[in-house]
Amino acid sequence: MLAIAGGQSSLADYCTYFVAYSDGSCTDTNSARAPDRMLGEVRGSNSRCMASSLVRTGFVRGSMTQGNGCYQHRCVNNSLEVAVDGIWKVCPEAGGPVQFPGFNGELICPAYHELCSTGPIAVFGQCPNSCTFNGDCVDGKCHCFLGFHGHDCSKRSCPDNCNGHGKCLSNGACECENGYTGIDCSTAVCDEQCSLHGGVCDNGVCEFRCSDYAGYTCQNSSKLISSLSVCKYVLEKDAGGQHCAPSESSILQQLEEVVVTPNYHRLFPGGARKLFNIFGTSYCDEAAKRLACWISIQKCDKDGDNRLRVCHSACQSYNLACGASLDCSDQTLFSSKEEGEGQCTGSSDIRLSWLDRLRGGLYLKNSSSKGMFVKSS
């Protein structure tokens, strides 16, 4: 089975390439790599690797639009059928896309002749009713998949009583409550805003992966400082943590030159507002520079795999210091108001004089501007 990888290796010039899984057999139920329930995968003797872009509704596949996975199949009535989450569908004879309820994307069926033999096959240790295709036949005995039981796996039952997150219907299937999905209602889903803001849903938690940016990794902040100029003092204040940044110092320097510096110039007031800020430009200058750096070089979480969006309070602090009206509700860039400063990048610790606070408050109250546009990395 092949997995799409790449996009982060300088040796591959950040191009996508393919890597074979050493533990990716769809028929091996003891594989070290567990089936991905977000993709509806199942391992077993009747599972095969198929091209697919399936992902449960409310989730996204990260930056990968087309991949593959392990899915059950059976050959009945001269037709190839495939199953996702216990739902069987007939494939086109020549192969092609099939969609499933509760999932976005599609599974690409192989052609009938690829998996279904047209000649007689000798069967040894045959199980009753072939386990109704709801289990593995091992030495003449059925080992049923999750949600099925009986000597031939023909009976359906609600796994773990739907884990307290759903209703067990009379046919033995779970009807999950809002916020949960899966054959046993054990998987939490995220609000649809998660994917709209560039996040990835991981069991109910909206995460923003550092690896979504090609060539970026979470690195010790102290190792980045020597390659920085504009953002050097910003990261020095948090040298004990990690930041999501390009893994190559030359690219990090280019990031400062072509992204951070132009953003800093956009954020620092010009024209009439520069005249308005004539007595307090040092506060605004610091706030604009910090915000430009935080937008492009974000902190990583404690696990070291997710980037943390810029704090909502940091955006508000910038607006106050510069008399600006940047849209702090843009959750593609900024965290929500509910997230504390330990869950996001930056802070609001710029100390403003009473004149700056008054000036910023008056500007925000009277401004008719709809905000500024800042390009992220």
- pLDDT per residue rounded down to tens, the chain (377 residues): 343 344 444 555 556 545 444 445 787 766 556 677 778 888 888 888 898 888 877 666 654 445 788 899 988 888 899 999 888 999 998 899 999 988 888 999 998 888 886 554 444 457 888 888 778 788 888 888 877 888 888 888 888 889 898 999 888 888 888 888 777 888 777 766 676 666 777 767 777 888 767 678 888 888 898 899 889 888 887 767 889 998 888 889 998 998 898 888 888 865 434 444 444 457 788 888 899 999 889 998 887 778 888 999 889 888 888 888 888 888 778 888 887 767 888 876 655 444 444 444 444 444 433 333 343 33
Distance CA 92, CA 108 (A): 10
Token pair in block for residue 101:
């309820």
pLDDT exceeding 90 applies to what percent of the chain?
7
Looking at the 3D structure of the chain, how many domains does it have? 2
State which of 121, 140, 163 marks the end of a domain: 121
CATH number at residue 31: 2.30.34.10
State which of 121, 143, 177 marks the end of a domain: 121
Distance CA 320, CA 313 (A): 10
- 233 part of a folded domain: yes
Radius of gyration of the chain from its Cα atoms, rounded to whole angstroms: 27
What does 186-255 look like in DSSP terms, one character per residue? -EE---THHHHTT-EEETTEEE-BGGGSTTEEEEEHHHHGGG-STTHHHHHTTTTSEEEEESSHHHHHHH
Burial 118-134 (b: 16+ CB within 10 A, else e): eeeeeeeeebeebbbbb
CATH number at residue 216: 1.10.2000
Maximum Cα interatomic distance, the chain, rounded to a whole number of Å: 90
Whether the Cβ atoms of residue 176 and residue 166 lie closer than 8 Å to each other: yes
Is the entire prediction scored with pTM above 0.75? Answer: no
The predicted structure's pLDDT at residue 119:
52
- Report pLDDT digits (tens) over 281-301: 577 888 888 999 998 899 988
State which of 103, 121, 139 marks the end of a domain: 121
Token pair in block for residue 142:
């059925």
Q: Which domain holds residue 303?
A: 210-366
The predicted structure's pLDDT at residue 247:
84
Distance CA 224, CA 238 (A): 11
- 49 part of a folded domain: yes
Whether the Cβ atoms of residue 75 and residue 61 lie closer than 8 Å to each other: no
Residue with tokens 């996975």: 69
Q: CB within 8 A of 162, min separation 6: which ones?
A: 168, 174, 175, 176, 184, 185
Token pair in block for residue 376:
């992220």
Do 221 and 80 belong together in one domain?
Answer: no
Whether the Cβ atoms of residue 201 and residue 194 lie closer than 8 Å to each other: yes
- 155 part of a folded domain: no
- Report pLDDT digits (tens) over 198-212: 677 776 777 788 876
- Residue closest to 58 by CA, chosen among 198, 175, 167, 204: 204
Residue 62 DSSP SS3: coil
Q: How many CB atoms lie within 10 A of CB 299?
A: 25
- 196 part of a folded domain: no
Sign of CA dihedral 252, 256, 258, 260: positive
The predicted structure's pLDDT at residue 355:
45
